[in-house]
Structure 1
Amino acid sequence: MSAHTIKHDGGPAWDWAAGHRPVTGALSATTGAFAVATVGTLAHMPPTWALAVGTAGAIGHTATGLRQKLAGRTIGARATSWLLGGGWTTWALATGPLTWTALGSLATLGVAIGASARATGLYEEARELEALEAAERHVARELSAERRGIAAEWVDRIQRVCGITVRVLAVEIWPTGTGFTIDAELPAGGVTYDRIARENAKLSADARLPHGCTAAATPGVDQGRVLIDVTTANVLAAEVQYPSDYSALSVHTGVPWGYRTNADEIRAYLREQCALVVGPTGSGKTNMVHVILAGFARATDMLTWVIDLNAGSAGLPWVRPAMEGGQGQPVRPGVDWLASTHDEAMLMLEAALRIGLYRKRAYQDLMSKANTDLLPVSAQIPQIMIVIDEGAEILTSADAEMRKLAKKILEVIRMLRAMGIRTVLTALGATGAVLGNLMIRREAKVRVALTGGETEGMDLSKLFPGGRGLRVEQAPHKGTGFMGTPESPVALFGTWRILPNQIRDIVHATSDRHPRLDDISAKAAGPDYARRWDHARTAWINSHQQTSDPAEPPATSSTATGVSAGLSLSALREDPSAAARAVTDEDVMAAEFMAQIDAQFGTTPEPSAEVGPVVEAEQPEAGTGLNLSALRDGKETGPAWLADAVTAINAAGTDGMKPAAVADLVGRSREAVRKTLKAAAERGELIYRDRGPHSVYVHPDHA
């Protein structure tokens, strides 16, 4: 054994676990052979036994060397040493080990074994070094001159900015020519990729990258590796049309929602996840909703229901092509159900709950056969995706009717995951009011923030708690922002531009692809679902149609009241009974449409029937736009200046505004302002904070 020693209380001791060196190995071999020969001679051991042992040792070391992929000369030297040792022992047993000839030959054999071991050891070390150098040369050959330059540059940059030294293993140039990916090995000592990820902005600035380009670090193939995606050209600045490939999709293969900075497609997997899309006005959120609906329309195992209380505008382009019809071919709507009113939305959500609860009982045998606790979604049993435009605002509304709707939405999110009913909510901002609901944060794992350069109400750290180095100014263009999914870490992305003509093309191309609700679910949904396209429930869609040639100028005849011609509102006619007798289906649809316009654009001064001075609190401001609210009750909506007051209170943030400050702002009496703000607070438009003489009104977003 080795002559290495270790210290302990009793003095030096042999280290029996140490390995052999060439000298100690030779001594061990020769002394062992001499001992066996001496004891064997005294015990009259047959000489052939020693030869058999030597042969077995040679075979064993040969097999071990082959398994360890040692060099041929090393394997040969070890086998020869065993054969020579076994041969000498056999000869010594036959002739006697205690002769000068036997001892001399044994010593010579020991020197030869030691020299051979030393030579083969040096050869193996040289061979190992050569293998490492060959691997490095291979890596160097793989890296072109450009790649080597990039690798060296970024090793220095990461050392300078992040204070760590990485080893670049590969540099992949993107086929689009808009950037590259660095695959690097992190140094020892527990350094993680976060060390680089949180210095995203500094690395981008140090590299002098163009605006909109980033150096984003993500986990590598293991926890000791890091991938750094470096964008050198701002591909998100250009508008990219939605792909013309309308091939079939599935909830299991994911639905494309946009593209990364390296032009890779990013998909949302929504079999078990809900989604949240945040985007302020002008960020491209409506276009993003249409991109989402386009992907759902292409799927063969998904049915899309849309709730949009803003006149159903999100789903209308997907319904109208079916109402217009095709060229001799029936066309099915791109969405399976569209709700534009509170009542219709309640019918939809209640039907979804009935479907989900009935599926849990009716499909137990199917799930048992499939050995799963998730309903096997297919074209025969489609998944229902409920897209709720500005649904997050519904969940945070203080209105009593909206709270009922919010309760149903939360029930759908909480209870129906396994039964294949999921939601996509949109919101105007990533604020605490929107993200304060635990159910949204827990279930909406697919998250999108369309920034459009807007910084107000876009707290990315709340929307993406694990994101590092995310800044709104990195995505200043419409339709760009950040997207993160459980499968893809949050990073910059852009969504395609989709136009009405393309929506029409998609509806026609996918009409025969839409699945139909399975019989069990249709039975549970009941007549509310079966009659969703009845004329009485969809007449509002076509209520905008004009009865005269739009190219002709409007008539100038006067009404009985003497008001010049224009919009004829029945509420302002002198003879309501005569108007009622002339009502037709078109009048009903027009009235419904006008009511929707009033709800959205009703900001114009009310027509006054009186001539003379107007009371200050009721006097409208001039030049505020079109107002069709002929029957508006000021107690329900407030005067025209209230919108400016609410905007100012929202801008004041958490500090809010005193009624006196609001009165000075809008130029109204303090008493009138107090009454109006109190009524707005009762409707849930504002929050009143009672602080005695310092009482203020605060916007719900900052409450």
Structure 2
Amino acid sequence: MTTNTTTKKVQDASGGPVWDWAAGHGPVTGALSATTGCLAVATTGAATGMPPAWALTVGAAGAIGHTISSLRERLSARTIAMRSASWLVGAGWTTWAMTSGPLTWAALGSLATIGVGIGAAARSTLLHEEARELEAIAADERHVARELSAERRAIAAEWVDRVQRVCHLTLRVVAVEMWPTGAGFTIDAELPAGGTTYDRIAQHSAALSADARLPHGCTAVASQGIHQGRVLIDVTTVNVLAEERTYPSDYTPLSLYTGIPWGYRTNAEEICVFLREQCALVVGPTGSGKTNMVHVILAGFARTTDVLTWVIDLNAGSAGLPWVRPALDPNGAPVEGVWPGIDWLASTYEEAVLMLDAALAVGLRRKVAYQDLMARANTDLLPISAQIPQIMLVVDEGAEILTSTDRRMKDLAKKILEVIRMLRAMGVRTVLTALGATGSVLGNLMIRREAKARVCLTGGETEGMDLSKVFPGARGLRPDQAPYKGAGFMGTPESAAALFKVWRILPNQIRDIVHATTGIHPSLDDVSSKAAGPAYATRWDADRTAWMRDTNPEAPATDAPAGERPAASGSGLNLSALRGESAEEALTRKFRQQIDDQFATFNPTTSTSEPGTGRPAPAGLNLSALQPEDNAARHAALALLHAAGPDGTGASAIARGLAEEFGTTRQTVVGWLKTWSEDGTAVRVGTGTKARYVHRDHTPDSSAEG
């Protein structure tokens, strides 16, 4: 298409109209420019005696030049002919006018006629070129559509056959949508008549993936369609979960109502959670990336303009410290202009009690103080905003607190459940984490009912990962589909449970987010702040944050041998039987004591009743360090394991072999075997009642090395 455009008027800085001399010519201005140019050349040539042949030469050169440029632009023959004819006609008139006089009425009239003709021809060719370009674009689009349609038809036919072969169902494919990320596609199909539901296909997810020869980490997952007679089959062809992606560096503000991103699906698209009314539960065993997931959650909350984050982590506050430390200088003093990424951090039982009491007080006070506001908004939910922010209570390993039998933990659990049960409408919600997806952790009905946003990080772990407890009713979910650290399954009320992966967030990103979001953190509203009381107002006082600044503890140095060092004040009895032991012996003793305490394996060989009374002896010190039989029995058990050879043996057999001489119980042997399997002394083969242990000297790896 020609690039000529009409000369335009634009506004300059002073507000007056000016001409845009950089603009090209259109049909009118082009014709006007050509005719005035011819008149000027003819008048000048006639006055100066210029040879008329020069005008013809210039016109011929212009026609040739425009023909060449038009061919390069791939313009139509009509446009090329019009441009060449304009040059030649103009040159012819100029030559005639130079010989007969350019200022006669005949010359001026003919020039005006030529100008009108050039303008009309230019307009006609311009429209023709635009039509040609639109047709070329449409043709390209039709070509791409034909190719894409052919690809989609092939995919549809392939998957109709596959579903028929694997699921014994005949589908009618309505559409095939290719994902913009290029990681797969979605098939929209109608289910056959007769009451067939989508889960007939969902339960064969693994079989369909295997039949399609999808790469590891890629799945074919069926979900509900637009109505109950339709099904959507999401097919992943590129395993985006295998690669590690860092947290997006775009720290733009977020809102509770627009969703907070927690990771990405197998189609590489972000998945967001909406936590205005619901709580969240994150399950993940050690090493699955749960701590990283907590930091991603805190990063999302730090970026929101209507959320305040309170964190409870009784493991020395490790989940929240990285979000507080950037706001403190090396001496522990607050950094000017920087505010912590979280609003409150509790690392002890006492601080957690203060935080939960404050949360309950805030929620109960809001119920009364904001009745007029809710009435004006015609809602029974408190309108959350930057002026009245929501409080998100993040409790690391909170599910374990709810199931603990410790008295103090029971008190915390009671308060957490009160927050979950009572304060939904008033904008106080929780995010709990747990180490495993087991019945003991997820047995609380309140957790299952309120935590509708659920995450289960597996990292390939299968022990304690009962996905049916986390996502009841979901089909086709298997831990081995997400063998990567940070990968797992996520389900929300807006998005069905499916594979996802959380971003990797690095410590320097946490520091950057704290600095980038300092200016957008909301402040607790006055009503809530007064209800929270002094516990909230003084949460960052020096005496309550001294533990955060104690980063370089100095232990008293001593060069005395271990057996000669004085016992610390209040450290306990100075047992002379343990004096002079080596570091290795001390470590062995401590480990033995841990086994005794956990499994009750120590059975003293001395009498368990008081002499002459027959009554049980009163509970006393368990001086297992003084029992050489313990070490002897352990060595004997290891000898029996080695003697069993490549076939191995079990705890019951070893216990029977030791019972007569040492009186060792099976429970004790189980603890030893578990320790040996962890340190590599033995290898466990099989599971459940068929499990046996083989000494490492008889394993294939050791024989190969030998």
Q: CA deviation at 1:663?
A: 13
| Distance in 2 between residues matched to 1:663 and 1:519, nearest whole Å | 72
1:427 maps to which of 418, 434, 437: 434
Which residue identity is paired with 2:363?
A: G
CA distances 1:539-567 after superposition (whole Å, capped 9, x unpaired) = 1112122569xxxxx96544999439xxx
Contact 2:327–2:334 (CA under 8 A) maintained in structure 1: no
1:391 maps to which of 385, 398, 414: 398
1:95-134 → structure 2 map (5 Å cutoff):
none
1:129-528 → structure 2 map (5 Å cutoff):
141=146, 143-324=148-329, 329-528=336-535
| Distance in 2 between residues matched to 1:375 and 1:230, nearest whole Å | 41
TM-score by length of 1: 0.62
Which residue identity is paired with 2:319?
A: A
Q: CA deviation at 1:286?
A: 0.3
1:645 maps to which of 587, 599, 615: 599
- CA separation of 1:643 and 1:486: change in aligned 2, threshold 3 A: farther
| Distance in 2 between residues matched to 1:203 and 1:536, nearest whole Å | 61
The gaps in structure 1 that reach 5 residues or longer are 1-136, 549-553, 573-606, 628-637, 648-656, 678-703
**How many pairs are equivalent?**
472
2:575 maps to which of 610, 627, 631: 610
TM-score by length of 2: 0.62
| Distance in 2 between residues matched to 1:141 and 1:185, nearest whole Å | 24
Q: CA deviation at 1:148?
A: 1.7
| Distance in 1 between residues matched to 2:246 and 2:427, nearest whole Å | 31
SS state at 1:305 partner: strand
Contact 1:197–1:468 (CA under 8 A) maintained in structure 2: yes
Contact 2:205–2:476 (CA under 8 A) maintained in structure 1: yes
Contact 2:328–2:335 (CA under 8 A) maintained in structure 1: no
Contact 1:143–1:171 (CA under 8 A) maintained in structure 2: no
Contact 2:328–2:334 (CA under 8 A) maintained in structure 1: no
Q: CA RMSD in A?
A: 3.4
CA distances 1:233-258 after superposition (whole Å, capped 9, x unpaired) = 21101111000010111111111000
| Distance in 2 between residues matched to 1:273 and 1:429, nearest whole Å | 21
| Distance in 2 between residues matched to 1:646 and 1:174, nearest whole Å | 58
Sequence identity percentage: 70
Contact 2:209–2:218 (CA under 8 A) maintained in structure 1: yes
Contact 1:620–1:639 (CA under 8 A) maintained in structure 2: no
Q: CA deviation at 1:225?
A: 1.6
SS state at 1:338 partner: strand
| Distance in 1 between residues matched to 2:562 and 2:189, nearest whole Å | 82
Equivalence for 2:565: 563
CA distances 1:37-90 after superposition (whole Å, capped 9, x unpaired) = xxxxxxxxxxxxxxxxxxxxxxxxxxxxxxxxxxxxxxxxxxxxxxxxxxxxxx
CA distances 1:90-147 after superposition (whole Å, capped 9, x unpaired) = xxxxxxxxxxxxxxxxxxxxxxxxxxxxxxxxxxxxxxxxxxxxxxx99994843222
Q: CA deviation at 1:500?
A: 0.7
- CA separation of 1:167 and 1:395: change in aligned 2, threshold 3 A: same
| Distance in 1 between residues matched to 2:371 and 2:384, nearest whole Å | 14
Q: CA deviation at 1:426?
A: 0.2
The gaps in structure 2 that reach 5 residues or longer are 1-141, 602-650, 672-706
Q: CA deviation at 1:189?
A: 2.1
SS state at 1:623 partner: helix
CA distances 1:161-211 after superposition (whole Å, capped 9, x unpaired) = 111111112212222222111111222222221111111011011111111
Give yes or no for the alignment of 1:623 onto 2:587: yes
SS state at 1:385 partner: strand
- CA separation of 1:327 and 1:320: change in aligned 2, threshold 3 A: closer
| Distance in 1 between residues matched to 2:381 and 2:454, nearest whole Å | 23
- CA separation of 1:345 and 1:569: change in aligned 2, threshold 3 A: same
SS state at 2:430 partner: strand
| Distance in 2 between residues matched to 1:663 and 1:323, nearest whole Å | 61
CA distances 1:430-457 after superposition (whole Å, capped 9, x unpaired) = 1101111110011000000000111111
Contact 1:620–1:640 (CA under 8 A) maintained in structure 2: no
Which residue identity is paired with 2:154?
A: G
| Distance in 1 between residues matched to 2:199 and 2:329, nearest whole Å | 54
